[in-house]
Amino acid sequence: MTSVPSKPTTVEEIFNDFTARRAGILRALTSDVDDFYGLCDPEKDNLYLYGHPNKTWEVSLPAEEVPPELPEPVLGINFSRDGMNRKDWLSLVAVHSDCWLLSVAFFLGARLNRNERKHLFSLINDEPTVFEVLADGKPAKEKPSADSGSKSRGSTKRSNDGQAKSNPRLANKSYEEDEDEHSETLCGSCGGNYNADEFWIGCDICEKWFHGKCVKITPAKAENIKQYKCPSCSLNRGRQ
């Protein structure tokens, strides 16, 4: 008697399920696109694109049981295949697939607490969407696993007068509305890209961001800094 695999329950398990299903859908819409296109015959019944947790994909009919075990992808993708430009049709399928992947992830994570849901969304949001991968024409990059965000990082918040304030905080409190605000930020010291897995601190004078290690500031030290001035700003102030 074979055992039925248990459903993902932790943030890491759900994120890994998400990335595996996403990988299967990406294969269908990129490397296996000719096979996928051929299976979506408009003469057939309602079909959908399903990504499996083993990184495979399937074009299938809706599940017979009601309600289904998991949220189902959008039906009828085959009906519009021949009425649209191929690229536009694939993009439409990609957008619907992105919606489905999110719905499955948060269906599985229905019992997560608030911070865990924020963590899950942050991990998912760090991945390019299926639509973005198709639009860029580039393969998706490898991302850190779900448990890699255990380090500290810095962030900023605005006071009433609009001045940027240094606000170091631990990773499990860092998934706020501005989570992707610094996704294109470069370190003012080494020029490296922003990485949420590393501690960063923002200068309250020039508003540039720095790796904590580049300016020799640790998360513990940052907790006691009311207004942080980077080495350049400190030097300039000293000359005045």
| 218: in domain | yes
What CA–CA distance (Å, rounded) separates 204 from 233?
Answer: 9
pLDDT of residue 36: 96
194-214 pLDDT per residue, tens: 777 788 888 888 888 888 888
**Residue 187 or 104, more confident:** 104
- 1-16 pLDDT tens trace: 334 467 888 999 999 9
Binning pLDDT at 50, 70 and 90, where does residue 184 land?
A: low
In a domain, 18, yes or no: yes
Split into its structural domains, the chain has a count of 2
d(CA 47, CA 76): 5
In the numeric block, which tokens belong to residue 120?
């899950």
Share of the chain above pLDDT 90, in %: 47
Q: Do 120 and 169 have their domain in common?
A: no
The total of other beta-carbon atoms located within 10 Å of residue 197's CB is 12
- Give me the pLDDT at residue 182, please: 53
Same domain, 75 and 22: yes
122 has a pLDDT exceeding 90: yes
Residue 11, pLDDT score: 94
> Is pLDDT at 28 greater than 60 in this prediction?
yes
Structure tokens at 51: 């990504």
Amino acid 228: pLDDT:
86
What's the gap between Cα 131 and its chain centre? 13
Say if residue 77 is in the same domain as residue 107.
Answer: yes
In a domain, 143, yes or no: no
Residues 171-186 have a mean pLDDT of 52
CA distance 215 to 213: 6
| Residue 230: per-residue pLDDT | 87
* Residue 144: per-residue pLDDT: 44
Residue 5 lies in a domain: no
The CB density around residue 163, as the number of other CB atoms within 10 Å, is 12
Instruction: Kindly state the average pLDDT of the residues 100-116.
Output: 94
The answer to whether residue 237 is domain-embedded is yes
Tokens of 102: 């999110």
Question: Is the four-CA dihedral 33, 34, 35, 39 of positive or negative sign?
Answer: positive
Domain C-terminal end among 85, 108, 136: 136
Q: How much is the pLDDT for 200?
A: 86
| Residue 145: inside a domain | no
pLDDT at 180: 53
Q: Where is pLDDT greater, at 142 or 122?
A: 122
Between 215 and 34, name the one with better pLDDT. Answer: 34
* CB within 8 Å of 215: residues ≥ 6 apart: 189, 201, 230, 231
**Residue 220 belongs to domain with CATH number:** 3.30.40.10
pLDDT at 21 over 80: yes
Token pair 């299976």: residue: 39
Q: Which residues of 91-122 are buried (b: 16+ CB within 10 A; e: fewer)?
A: bbbbebbbebbbebbbebbeebeeebbbbbbb
Residue that is last in its domain, among 80, 111, 136? 136
Q: What is the CA radius of gyration of the chain?
A: 23
* Domain limit, last residue, from 136, 169, 202: 136
Considering the domain architecture, whether residues 170 and 123 belong to the same structural domain is answered as no
My answer on whether 37 and 104 are in the same domain is yes
Domain that holds residue 221: 150-240
What pLDDT does residue 237 have?
Answer: 61
Separation of alpha carbons 94 and 77, rounded Å: 11
Q: What is the mean pLDDT of the chain?
A: 79
